[in-house]
């Protein structure tokens, strides 16, 4: 008996929710007097407008073969550590002096 009461209660709740939603919103936009509108996301989550695409420039084979400048590519931590280690070796640093030099070098 308890199971049937739960089923009846669930049916009543579903019916009241669906009727309530149907009665709360008008069925046709013509009754409101406004043209239908489309949904748009809020400005803070809307995708940013992409800049107008420009056609790619034809590169000469010589220009394409040239590597990018070394200053443009950031070094990884391992590369910086290797450079700092080489500088410390060149200066002949050992112990605490070497440790302090490497830590300062890696911060840059």
Q: Is residue 89 assigned to a domain?
A: yes
Residue 88's pLDDT is 94
Q: Is residue 54 assigned to a domain?
A: no
CA distances from 94 to 36, 59, 64, 82, 108 (A): 77, 50, 45, 16, 21
Q: Is residue 19 assigned to a domain?
A: no
Q: Is residue 16 assigned to a domain?
A: no
Taking residue 100's Cβ as centre, other Cβ atoms within 10 Å add up to 12
Q: Is residue 91 assigned to a domain?
A: yes
Q: Is residue 66 assigned to a domain?
A: no
Q: Is residue 108 assigned to a domain?
A: yes
Range of the domain at 92: 76-108
Domain count, the chain: 1
pLDDT by residue for the chain (108 residues), tens only, comes to 556 888 888 888 888 887 776 666 555 555 555 666 788 877 777 666 655 566 556 555 555 555 555 555 788 999 999 999 999 999 999 999 999 999 999 887
Q: Against a cut of 0.95, is the pTM above it?
A: no
Task: For the chain, state the CA radius of gyration.
Answer: 35
Q: Is residue 67 assigned to a domain?
A: no
Vertex 90, ends 84 and 93: CA angle to 5°?
80
């Amino acid at each position: 008996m308890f199971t049937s009461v739960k089923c009846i209660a669930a049916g009543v709740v579903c019916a009241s929710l669906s009727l309530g939603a149907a009665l709360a919103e008008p069925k046709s936009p013509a009754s409101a007097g406004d043209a239908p509108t489309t949904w748009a996301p809020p400005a803070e989550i809307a995708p940013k407008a992409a800049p107008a695409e420009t056609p790619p420039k034809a590169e000469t084979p010589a220009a394409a073969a040239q590597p990018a400048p070394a200053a443009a590519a950031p070094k990884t931590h391992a590369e910086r550590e290797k450079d700092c280690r080489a500088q410390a070796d060149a200066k002949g640093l050992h112990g605490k002096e070497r440790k302090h030099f490497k830590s300062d070098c890696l911060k840059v």
